[in-house]
Chain A
Amino acid sequence: MSASNETYTEDQYLEVNKYQPKSSSGKIANYVDTRVGGTGIVREFGRKVFPDHWTFMFGEVALYSFIITVISGAFLTFWFDPSMATTRYSGSYAPLQGLEMSMAYATSLELSFDVRGGLFMRQLHHWGALMFVLAMSVHMIRVFFTGAFRKPRELNWVVGATLLVLGLGAGFTGYSLPDEVLSGNGLRIIDGMLKAIPVVGTYISFFLFGGEFPGNEVIPRLYALHIFVIPALILILIAVHLFLVVTHKHTQYPGPGRTERNVVGYPVGPVYAAKAGGFFFIVMGVLSLLAGTFQINALWNYGPYDPSPVQAGTQPDWYIGWFDGVLRIMPGFIGNIPLEFVIPTPWGGNSIATPVLVPMIPITLLLLGVFVWPWLENWITGDKREHHLLDRPRNAPTRTAFGVAMVVWYLVMWGAASSDLMATHFALSLNDVIYWLRAAFFLGPIIAYLLTKRICLALQRKDREVALHGHEAGVIEVSAEGEFHEKHKLPNEHELWTLVSYEAPAPSGPQPNAKGKITALEKLRARLNRIWFEDRVEPVSREEYLEVMRHHGHGPSALEAAESRQAITAGTGSDSR
Chain B
Amino acid sequence: MAEHGNGDSTAVVKAGEGASNGYAIDNPGLPPHRPRLADVDEKAAKRSERQVAALFIVSIIGTLMFFVGYFAIARMDQFDDYFEGMSALRVQNTLIGVGTALAMLGIGLGIVHWAKTLMPDHEVTEARKPLRTEADRAEAEKIVTDVVEETQIKRRPLLRNTMIAAALLAPLPAVVVFRDLDRTADFGVERMRHSLWDEGVRLVRDPTGTPIRAADLTIGSAMHVIPENLREVSGHGDRLAEKAKAVVLIMRLNPDDLHEPTPGRENWSHEGIIACSKVCTHVGCPVALYERHTHHLLCPCHQSTFDASEEFKVTFGPAGRALPQLPITVDDEGFLIARSDFTEPVGPTYWERGHTDPEGDFPA
The finding on whether chains A and B are genuine partners in a shared complex, rather than unrelated, reads yes
User: Which of B8-16, B155-163, B332-340 contacts its partner?
Assistant: B8-16
Q: Report the Cα distance A79→B38, complex, angstroms.
A: 50
1/0 contact trace for A229-268 toward B, CB 8 Å? 0000000000000000001110000001111111111110
Instruction: Give every chain B residue within 8 A of A248 (Cβ-Cβ).
Output: 131
Contact among B100, B127, B243, B349 with A351 in the assembled complex (CB-CB below 8 Å): B349
Report whether B285 and A310 are in contact in the complex, using a CB–CB cutoff of 8 Å.
Answer: yes
A144 at the interface (CB under 8 A from B): no
Indicate if the CB atoms of B97 and A305 lie closer than 8 Å: no
Report chain A residues within 8 Å CB of B15: 493
Closest to B14 in A: A257
From A114, A205, A292, B101 is in contact (CB under 8 Å) with A292
Q: Known contacts being A340-B321, A430-B303, is A310 close to B22, with CB within 8 Å? A: no
Tell whether, in the assembled complex, residue A261 and residue B105 are in contact, meaning their CB atoms are under 8 Å apart: no
Whether B24 pairs with A541 at a CB distance below 8 angstroms is: yes
Q: For B247, list chain A residues within 8 Å (CB).
A: 307-308
Contact with A along B4-40 (1 / 0, CB 8 A): 1000000111011011111111111111000000000
A214-B240, A292-B93, A310-B301 given; A264·B82 CB < 8 A: no
Among A256, A280, A288, A577, chain B packs the most CB atoms within 10 A around the CB of A288
CB distance from B292 to the nearest CB of A (A): 16
Report the minimum CB–CB distance from A325 to chain B (whole Å).
Answer: 9
Stretch at the interface among B111-119, B256-264, B265-273, B323-331: B111-119
CA separation between A213 and B101, bound complex, in Å?
41
A284–B100 CA distance with the chains assembled, in angstroms: 9
CA distance A116 to B66 in the complex (A): 11
Q: Which of A57-92 contact B (CB under 8 A)?
A: 84-86, 91-92
Known: A207-B178, A339-B320, A353-B348. A271 touches B119 (CB 8 A): yes
Q: A185-B286, A210-B184, A327-B318 are in contact. Are A199 and B351 (CB under 8 A)?
A: yes
How far, in whole Å, are A48 and B97 apart by their CA atoms in the complex? 36
A274 touches B112 (CB 8 A): yes
B173 within 8 A of A: no
Contact A420 B303 (CB under 8 A): yes
Chain B residues closer than 8 Å to A271, beta-carbon distance: 115, 119-121
Q: With contacts A117-B70, A257-B13, A264-B30 known, is A292 near B98, CB below 8 A?
A: yes
**Is A348 a contact partner of B355 (Cβ separation < 8 A)?**
yes
Complex CA distance for A199 and B23, rounded to whole angstroms: 59
Partner pick for B303 among A124, A277, A278, A434, CB 8 A cutoff: A434
Segment at the B interface, from A34-42, A330-338, A370-378, A527-535: A330-338
B288 CB-CB contact with A under 8 Å: yes
Q: Mark B78-92, 1 if CB is under 8 A from A, else 0.
A: 010010010001001
Q: Are B109 and A278 in contact (CB under 8 A)?
A: yes
- Is A288's CB under 8 angstroms from B110's CB? no
Instruction: Decide yes or no: A264 and B125 within 8 Å by CB, A192-B284, A501-B23 being known contacts.
Output: yes
For residue B145, give the distance in angstroms from its CB to the closest CB of chain A. Answer: 13
Please judge, given known A-B contacts A198-B351, A264-B125, A281-B108, whether A308 and B224 are in contact too, CB under 8 Å. Answer: yes
Asked if residues B240 and A306 are in contact (CB atoms below 8 Å), the reply is yes
Whether B77 lies near A542 (C-beta < 8 A) is no
List CB contacts (< 8 Å) of A342-370 with chain B: 342, 344, 347-356, 359
Known contacts A114-B77, A263-B128, A351-B349; A120/B236 CB under 8 A: no
CB of B23 within 8 A of CB of A542, answer: yes
Distance between A84 CB and nearest chain B CB, rounded to angstroms: 6
Provide the bound-state CA to CA distance between A305 and B30, in Å: 63
- Residues of chain B within 8 A of A331, CB atoms compared: 317-318
Q: Does B46 contact A (CB under 8 A)?
A: no
Residue of B nearest to A495 (CB): B31
Q: Name the A residues within 8 Å of B320 (CB-CB).
A: 332-333, 338-340, 353-355
Which of B105, B123, B319 is in CB contact (< 8 Å) with A281? Answer: B105
Residue A419 at the B interface, CB < 8 A?
yes
Task: Choose one: B28, B116, B318; the contact of A493 (CB below 8 Å).
Answer: B28
CB distance from B83 to the nearest CB of A (A): 9
- Which of chain B's residues has its CB closest to A325's CB? B302
The yes or no answer to A291 lying at the interface (CB within 8 A) is yes
A201 near B350 with CB under 8 A, answer: yes
Q: A451-486: contact bitstring with B at CB < 8 Å (1 yes, 0 no)?
A: 000000000000000010000000000000000000
Q: Mark B130-144, 1 if CB is under 8 A from A, else 0.
A: 010000000000000
Flag whether A511 is at the interface (Cβ < 8 A). Answer: no
Is B165 in the interface zone, CB < 8 Å from A?
no
Find the residue from A120, A286, A542 having the highest chain B CB count within 10 A: A120
In the bound complex, CA of A330 to CA of B317 (Å): 7
Give B312 Cβ to nearest chain A Cβ, in Å: 13
CB of B183 closer than 8 Å to a CB of A: yes
- Contact for B131 among A95, A124, A247, CB less than 8 A: A247
Contact present for A120 and B11 (CB under 8 Å): no
Which residues from chain A contact B283 at a C-beta distance below 8 Å? Answer: 188-189, 191-193, 196, 327, 356
Given contacts A1-B146, A188-B283, A545-B25, contact A419 B303 (CB under 8 A): yes
Check if A293 sits within 8 Å of B241, measured CB to CB.
no
- Cβ–Cβ contact B124 & A264, under 8 A: yes
- Stretch touching chain A among B186-194, B196-204, B208-216: B186-194
- Interface assignment of A388: CB less than 8 Å from any CB of chain B: yes
Closest to A338 in B: B320
B13, B107, B237, B245: the one contacting A278 at CB < 8 Å is B107
CB of B232 within 8 Å of the partner chain: no
Give every chain A residue within 8 A of B355 (Cβ-Cβ): 342, 344, 348-349
Q: How far apart are B288's CB and chain A's nearest CB, in angstroms?
A: 5
How far, in whole Å, are A48 and B1 apart by their CA atoms in the complex? 9
Q: Which residues of A contact B106 (CB under 8 A)?
A: 285
Among A21-29, A165-173, A562-570, the one that faces the other chain is: A562-570
Chain B contacts for A216, CB-based, 8 A: 235-238
Q: In the complex where A313-B300, A351-B351, A500-B23 touch, is A338 in contact with B321 (Cβ < 8 A)? A: yes
Q: CA of A316 to CA of B104 in the docked complex: distance in angstroms?
A: 30
Write out the residue numbers on chain B whose beta carbons fall within 8 Å of the beta carbon of A47: 1, 124
* Contact A259/B19 with A214-B240, A292-B94 known, Cβ cut-off 8 Å: yes
B359 located at the interface, meaning its Cβ lies under 8 Å from any Cβ of chain A in the complex? no
Rounded to whole Å, the gap between the CB of A510 and the closest CB of chain B is 25
Q: Which residues of B contact A283 (CB under 8 A)?
A: 108
Whether the pair A542, B108 counts as a contact (CB closer than 8 A) is: no
A328 at the interface (CB under 8 A from B): yes
Residue in B11, B235, B350 whose CB lies within 8 Å of A262? B11
A344 to B106, CA, bound (A): 68
Q: Are B187 and A206 in contact (CB under 8 A)?
A: yes
Q: Across the interface, name the chain B residue whose C-beta is closest to A542.
A: B24
Q: Are B107 and A281 in contact (CB under 8 A)?
A: yes
Interface residues of B (CB under 8 A from A): 1, 4, 11-13, 15-16, 18-31, 70, 75-77, 79, 82, 85, 89, 92-112, 114-116, 119-121, 123-129, 131, 146, 150, 178, 181-184, 187, 189, 191-192, 206-207, 224, 226, 235-238, 240-241, 243-245, 247, 278-280, 282-286, 288-289, 300-304, 314, 316-321, 347-356, 361
By a beta-carbon cutoff of 8 Å, the part of chain A in contact with chain B is 1, 47-49, 84-86, 91-95, 100, 102, 113-114, 116-117, 119-120, 123-124, 152, 185, 188-189, 191-193, 195-202, 205-217, 221, 247-249, 256-267, 270-271, 274-275, 277-286, 288-289, 291-293, 305-314, 324, 327-333, 338-340, 342, 344, 347-356, 359, 388, 419-420, 430-431, 434, 467, 493-494, 496-497, 500-501, 503, 539-542, 544-545, 562, 565, 568-569, 574-577
21 A-B contacts, Cβ less than 8 Å apart? A213-B284, A256-B30, A256-B31, A259-B13, A262-B11, A263-B126, A265-B124, A266-B124, A270-B119, A278-B111, A285-B104, A291-B100, A292-B94, A306-B240, A307-B243, A307-B286, A308-B224, A332-B314, A342-B356, A351-B352, A467-B24
